[in-house]
A and B are shown apart, each in its own frame.
Chain A
């Protein structure tokens, strides 16, 4: 019964998402594109935070390098879009392997500091290496050519791009879900709850943490590859720690204990941002206050709090 209701809700949501360009204005097509991309970014973050218990403050490094990789390939090689995304995923995997190797060995406090510091190192590189990254202005002026796989799509059309993003994010979300539900995902959960016990069971906690970190990096890189053509620019802001704060807030807003939590958090975040920035410039202040309140009072997020409330009512 419960799963049936859930499946029905999910089907309605997916149908609604597919129909967005036909029923809503371009403004909302852009909003929903952003929600989907940032949702994937947040879901990749939640694989290491919600599932494995590693709080990274440098996840934007992988998102940003994905955006830069796609931008660079489009500018210099003019490859099809799918190939660009593969390059983005490869680049972020490599970066995640390097940062992860140095960071996952130590405890939570160290991990938080190191991911933040290395994340800002990548930001500093993008900022300073003008000849490749064009410094603070970022890379712009690239155009999407073909999609790849022989499909004939006009990616420059926002509605078409929205459907492409929807398809790719859906596939990526399914893959992430399968990973979370696999025995590998179960081990990650066990590591969050009791790393000592997992290591007594004969598993190498460090390796599992590193693999989870790299997988999260790959999906963040994919999200980055999707955001560059959407924003039409790959700039250092995508690598800054304020960008790393966004998936953290989205995951907590939606609920870190649920697979779909980050996507719901992303929707709440983007809608809230659009609404609040029409009133005030100080979005970061609002963001900080919301984060503080969520952490203190609603640690389970919107989804978790709603489910708790529902259980309470049913009793």
Chain B
């Protein structure tokens, strides 16, 4: 029983972390209609910035959790204004190619700045212990990730459903020309949404830093996981991202414990099964070619 409890909690913290990252991908897709291949690279950048702020500049973890994502969001504004603005009116293939190029540039820059070795970020003292829960010992940091994940989930839901900013974002996602006709500055919305997506990726990166070792391949792993999440849940769907993230979290939580030898393959098998029966994802709508 305690094994199952621990696996469940483990699934939940992986799942909520994946949700934070995948929902950023989803929001950007919803409004800009592009899939940001560099999303994982921005996540990695968040983690590495946190490493520098904590281990080199000596800041507390909380400060890094606030500052690193802001730094990444500023970079995202620059990327949007300098590079992406050229391709918004073009074919979707061009946006895929350009964000892929940005991914290569960020990946290699991280390798040049921080080296290809592994870096470790310690969780803050307050969160580094473990507590007894459901009859098993659980790392306090896992609970912290779960709490922050749930807070962000609630915050995002509130933002999209109850605030003016959220309504503007949804309007821009539904029909950009119509939104423009209603005196909404869609150019600013586009830049803002791209920066917000990058901010979410970086928050995920800072949160993940104390759980995983930092290496230049960490962004590649997470972008594939995020793709699997949005394919399972349905591209562009907010509840879909949550459902996909929880399913993938469960696959990791239980797969890692009970089927370690095929653990790497299970997410792909899950994705293939969903594609066979629900090609648009569990919550997705028409994406047929």
Contacts and interface: CB of A to CB of B under 8 A. Distances in A.
Contact of B289 (A116, A120, A195, A289): A195
Nearest to A110: B287
A248 B93 CA distance: 11
- Interface on chain A toward B: helix, strand, loop, or mixed SS? helix
A292 B83 contact: yes
Given A55-B93, A102-B276, A124-B265, A117 B100 contact: no
A interface bracket (residues with beta carbon within 8 Å of B): 35 or more
A105 interface: yes
A117 B87 CA distance: 24
A106 B280 contact: yes
A65 B246 CA distance: 33
A121 B276 CA distance: 17
Contact of A106 (B37, B83, B108, B289): B289
A187 interface: no
Given A114-B275, A118-B268, A108 B93 contact: yes
Interface stretch (A76-84, A137-145, A279-287): A279-287
B36 to A, nearest CB: 11
A299 B264 CA distance: 37
B265 A125 contact: yes
Nearest to B271: A117
Contact of B87 (A49, A112, A295): A295
Interface stretch (B122-130, B202-210, B220-228, B237-245): B220-228
A291 B220 CA distance: 18
Nearest to A119: B224
Contacts of B235: 109-110
Interface of A: 49, 53, 55, 57, 102, 104-114, 116-118, 120-121, 124-125, 127-128, 195, 205-206, 209, 241-242, 245, 248, 252, 282, 284-285, 287-289, 291-292, 295-296, 299
18 contacts: A102-B272, A105-B279, A105-B289, A106-B279, A109-B92, A109-B287, A111-B289, A112-B96, A116-B227, A124-B268, A128-B264, A195-B289, A245-B104, A252-B97, A282-B112, A285-B112, A288-B105, A292-B83
Interface of B: 29, 35, 37, 83, 86-87, 92-94, 96-98, 100-105, 107-109, 111-112, 220, 224, 227-228, 230-231, 235, 264-265, 268, 271-272, 275-276, 279-280, 287-289
